[in-house]
Amino acid sequence: MNECGDSIRDGAKSFFTSQYKSLSLVFIVYGILLAAYSIERPTSDITDGLRIGGCFLMGAILSLLSSYIGVAISTDSNIRAAHAAETDGISKTLKVAFTASSVYSFTAVGFALLGLSIMFYLSTLGRSDDITIAEGAEFGMKSLVGFGLGCSTISMFVRIRGSIFAKSSDLGASLVQNELHGAQNPAAVAEQVGVHVGDVGGNGADLFETFVLAIIAAGSMADGDIILVALPFWLAGAGVVSSAVSVFFVNVEDDASQSGILYGLYRVKLVATFIFLILASVIVYLLFDFIGSGWTILCCIIVGQVFGVFVGQITEAFTVSTCISKSAADGGATGPIFLVIKALAYGFFSCIGPAVFIVALVLTTM
């Protein structure tokens, strides 16, 4: 396992090193062009270009760094998870795998919060004295759009390039038919490298992007209200804390079935949701004292969290449910075309539930 794991880790690091070298020059040029274009935008301050360009480069750097750390963690933790599965059973294996993925996730959201906070602070410094605090906060959030653009661009590059590498290595592995196993089979190693750089690295960049853009979008709609600007930052921090506490509730029996494992993960989700709602109530009380819009904001947070859990359960039902997967597999008993038709039908049908919940969420919070 160590020999095979070392080969996969070296291959993944080589891919990311090559990708960083090719992307670094491109993003430096992008940052310079963005800084030049953004001079005296959104204000007449000539330093606006430097602020937005700096935010762009910081977002790109942190997104790349979080992806690289995630791949490094996953390649190392796979060996530990495989050893735990061989010697310790399902419970220990799940804890090892879940802990490793938690480290990856907390690294991404930690970099996101740290980068956003620092760049928002720097974007408010050096403004003219006649600008109010509200205007400075509004200009700071507009500068953070460059941060979101940087991490979005990196997410696109990492996801596309990683997916191309993953699919090509998967194709190469399927074409190579031999009796070699483990690290002695280059095709098998290349396939696993493709899985890591495509799925793990790409998902990490997507997580970073989604987290960052959610905060920027919420803060940009505050129209300079410093309390409303601070709210998404505080709620994001509360989400990190609640998720960190919920990690300690990961526990399943060694003889647990697939449904038992999913229930154990679902319990963790409920614990995180409950803790987050408590922390969100405290944050809203401290910021708004439950006066005026405070109650409205708290109700929107509760409704959004509950609806988010429902949408997650619907998605999980259509992706990991034994009943649906068995029904789709039974459709292939009479030929592959029927399997494709039934699986495609389930895919279309799975979009109905989330769409209904999203519309209901919008109508509820109006």
**pLDDT digits 0-9 by tens, 12-49:** 888 888 877 877 888 888 888 887 877 766 666 677 78
The per-residue pLDDT of the chain, averaged, comes to 83
List b or e across 120-136, with b for residues whose CB sees 16 or more CB atoms inside 10 angstroms.
bebbbeebeeeeeeeeb
Cis peptide before 42 (omega within 30 of 0): yes
Give pLDDT, residue 277.
Answer: 93
What is d(CA 249, CA 272) in angstroms, rounded to the nearest whole number?
Answer: 10
- Burial profile 208-243: b = 16 or more Cβ within 10 angstroms, e = fewer: bbbbbbbbbebbbebebeeebbbbbbbbbebbbebb
| Burial of 308 from C-beta contacts in 10 A (0-12 / 13-18 / 19+) | middle
Contact present, 303 and 362 (Cβ < 8 Å): no
Q: Which two tokens stand for residue 302?
A: 């509760």
Are 173 and 192 in contact by the 8 Å Cβ rule? The answer is no
Q: Which two tokens stand for residue 230?
A: 């601070």
Beta-carbon contacts of residue 255 (< 8 Å; ≥ 6 apart): 90
Residues 84/98, Cβ–Cβ less than 8 Å: no
pTM over 0.85: no
pLDDT score recorded for residue 271? 92
pLDDT band per the 50, 70, 90 thresholds, residue 275: very high
pLDDT number for residue 180: 58
Q: Is the pLDDT of residue 258 over 80?
A: no
DSSP H or E segment with residue 338:
helix 336-350
What is the C-alpha to C-alpha distance for residues 155 and 70, in angstroms, rounded to an integer? 14
Model confidence band, residue 222 (pLDDT cutoffs 50, 70, 90)? confident
Q: Give one word for 89, left, alpha or beta, with left for phi > 0 and alpha for psi -120 to 50.
A: left
pLDDT tens track for 50-93 = 888 889 999 988 988 888 888 888 888 888 888 888 888 888 88
Q: What's the mean pLDDT in 266-274?
A: 89
Query: pLDDT > 70: what percent of the chain?
Result: 92
Please compute the mean of the pLDDT values over residues 155-169 and round it to a whole number: 79
Mutual angle of helices 201-220 and 226-246, in 10-degree steps: 150
